[in-house]
Amino acid sequence: MNESVLDLQRRDLPALPKGEAERLESLADTGLLDTPAEEGFDRITRLAQKLFGVSAASVSLIAEDRQFLKSIAGNLEVNGPRAESFCTHTIMTPDTLVVEDAEEDERFRTNPYVVGLPNIRFYAGQPLQGPGGHNIGTLCISDQEPRAFNGEQEKVLQDLAAIVQREINVRTDLRNGARIQQAHLPEQAPPIPGYTITAAFRPAGDLSGDFYDWDLVNGRFRFTLADVMGKGTGPAILTATIRAGLRATADVDPASALTTVSRELIDNLARTESFVTAFHGELDPVTGIVTYADAGHGLAHHVPAGAGARRLATGSGPLGIMPGLQWNTHTFTLDSGDALVIPSDGLLELLNENLDELACELAKLSSSDNLSADLDLLISSAGTPTDDVTVLILRRD
């Protein structure tokens, strides 16, 4: 048994929560431990401090051997040992824990934060849950003077804790969605003699609307770069459905594939207030002929050997804009030394919407031997991206 657990058991504290290992895993799954302050939490602790007129209010997370304050308004609560935290007691119950006078409570009268600075006398905390319903922390208030705390005040604290709980749930959903997205990104491209295929993906946040995919089907290389645009987590989760739909239509031309997927997803896209821009194509490795359809993407460039980048023809609008929309198929040939470079609109936005500058940068990236490093260099030199940045390159050697 490690020292931190022994410390907890030496103090006059409740036993470790049942399923402590699962509780700690639940806390880790939120992704909140040791993260910077966020306004979504801070506004609630500020409100709690003002409403109750207390010295401090905080969102406290209880780790294995310590307390971490995700948000703090005031100056009483501190990051410190779990063994000395009032919130260690709170996570043992589903109810609000109220300590009206810590000096008169045998659980806390010898607590270092009661007998010494910051001299906490009053405390009230409401448990917060992580995935699976485990208590991972609290919304709590504290003061240097003892005070009564009635049922109506408890209800207010519970209502505020419910808002914090929603913030936790949203962030957990974002992390889970991001994991799903990462799991669906393809690994290294299938080896195709005479061609170099690479991609780089830089999400601006936990969840990305960008995705890319590739597959080798009956000797032809199928590839996609798409951007699902909309609100909330729904559009990001839709990326897996769109990927599966395009893979299921590998026996038809790219334009027909987009039409089929659009028809099947139009209701889901409307329900989530989403639409999808996409570049979907296939390469015949023997001839170098690329067949593609562009659904409102409009940023793919053909870079002939020794020449500047040429923006490819676009088609109809994005998927999900209107029922019955269809797309056209276009073709061009990749000769030796040529490249097809497909960026997401996040790169264009990073370059201040300058299409000429985009073409220049894509021409440079087309010959890159380390796309990931070169894209990072471009991003760092251009500024902080506010949208996801993805680039897919198909080059004929």
Tell me the Cα Rg of the chain.
28
Output the CA angle 48-50-51, nearest 5 degrees. 65
Pick the CATH number of 3-178 from 3.40.1190.20, 3.30.450.40, 2.60.40.10, 3.30.499.10: 3.30.450.40
Is beta strand 330-333 parallel, antiparallel or unpaired with respect to 289-295? antiparallel
Pull the structure tokens for residue 82. Answer: 């779990």
d(CA 312, CA 340): 9
DSSP bridge pairs for 395: 196, 339
Alpha helices in the chain (DSSP H): 3-10, 20-30, 39-52, 87-90, 112-115, 151-184, 234-248, 254-271, 345-350, 355-366, 371-382
Query: What is the pTM for the complete model shown?
Result: 0.66
Which of 271, 270, 316, 273 shows the shortest CA–CA distance to 295?
A: 316
> Measured between alpha carbons, how far is 226 from 296 in angstroms, rounded to an integer?
10
Q: What is the pLDDT of residues 66-107, one digit of tens each?
A: 999 999 999 776 788 999 999 999 999 999 999 999 999 999
Beta-carbon count within 10 A of 205 CB: 12
Residue in 78, 67, 265, 38 with CA at minimum distance from that of residue 170 = 38
CA distance 228 to 205: 14
Q: What is the pLDDT of residue 325?
A: 87
Contact between residue 300 and residue 311 where contact means Cβ atoms under 8 Å apart: yes
Instruction: State the fold for domain 185-396.
Output: Phosphatase 2c; domain 1 (3.60.40)
Q: Return d(Cα 26, Cα 132) in angstroms, integer.
A: 7
Give residue limits of the domains in the chain.
Answer: 3-178, 185-396
Q: What beta strand segments (E) does 242-338 contain?
A: 275-283, 289-295, 301-303, 310-311, 330-333
Q: Going residue by residue through the chain (397 aa), what tens digit of pLDDT does each one get?
A: 344 433 443 344 556 767 899 999 999 999 999 999 999 999 999 999 999 999 999 999 999 999 999 999 997 767 889 999 999 999 999 999 999 999 999 999 999 999 998 899 999 999 999 998 999 999 999 999 999 999 999 999 999 999 999 999 988 877 776 666 666 678 789 999 999 999 988 877 655 678 899 999 999 999 999 998 765 566 666 787 888 899 999 999 999 999 999 988 888 788 777 889 999 999 999 999 999 999 999 999 999 998 889 999 887 899 988 888 889 999 999 999 999 999 999 999 999 999 999 999 999 999 888 988 998 888 888 777 778 889 999 999 9
Predicted local distance difference test score (pLDDT) of residue 3: 40
The count of C-alpha atoms lying within 13 angstroms of the C-alpha of 120, restricted to the half-sphere facing its C-beta, is: 29
Distance of alpha carbon 243 from alpha carbon 261, whole angstroms: 9
Rounded CA-CA distance 97/89 in Å is: 8
- Give me the residue label for tokens 């991972």: 136
| Residue 169 DSSP label | H
Name the token pair of 341.
């470079």
Angle between helical axes of 234-248 and 151-184 (0-180°, round to 10): 30
**Letter for the amino acid at 90?**
T
44 contact partners, CB below 8 Å, separation of at least 6: 59, 71, 139, 160, 163, 164, 167
Q: Which two tokens stand for residue 192?
A: 């195709």
